[in-house]
Chains A and B, each alone.
Chain A
Amino acid sequence: AQSVTQLGSHVSVSEGALVLLRCNYSSSVPPYLFWYVQYPNQGLQLLLKYTSAATLVKGINGFEAEFKKSETSFHLTKPSAHMSDAAEYFCAVSDLPGNTPLVFGKGTRLSVIA
């Protein structure tokens, strides 16, 4: 069965500092991997996704993530944090294409300090 582990339920960074949110997954087959962001009182929106093409994936708002098969990781990074990045971030995995639910991590709340 697939699973997702997000290390750190809360991460705090200073404005302008590097953002690193960790995600490790387990899957018996090559996975599809996703990062979603949730701003307060809103639904989830897609930041980026890995679908077996390039291992370094670029998303919206300057975020990117690198798929590392040997480490079963898909960590999310952004070189310079902005106050508007404060939100909850969810990593998700699925394996089979088409009809299969996503399995979500428990989320990481990112705080950005001025």
Chain B
Amino acid sequence: NAGVTQTPKFQVLKTGQSMTLQCAQDMNHNSMYWYRQDPGMGLRLIYYSASEGTTDKGEVPNGYNVSRLNKREFSLRLESAAPSQTSVYFCASSRGGLNTEAFFGQGTRLTVV
């Protein structure tokens, strides 16, 4: 039981390049999330998927797109990376609804130069 697995762990992009962060969970959770974490700013929600087949914007969605490929997988895409997107990205999942304990992946440290 691996929990939440996200790849890659580290990535360096040049401004304007695109990339997709992958996330998968094996806990049969309904809800999945993408957060970014910047120093002194806690965790900010980028996008979430309350259930398979749905996605919604979070607090900071600009510059990102997501795909809930199936119940297990939720990917985050940067179409044209900008230095402001340098951050640590966390994928998380939860059962959803009132049971909102979130289980996190190990994080992706992204640097855009």
User: Do A and B actually bind?
Assistant: no
B interface residue numbers (CB < 8 A to A): none
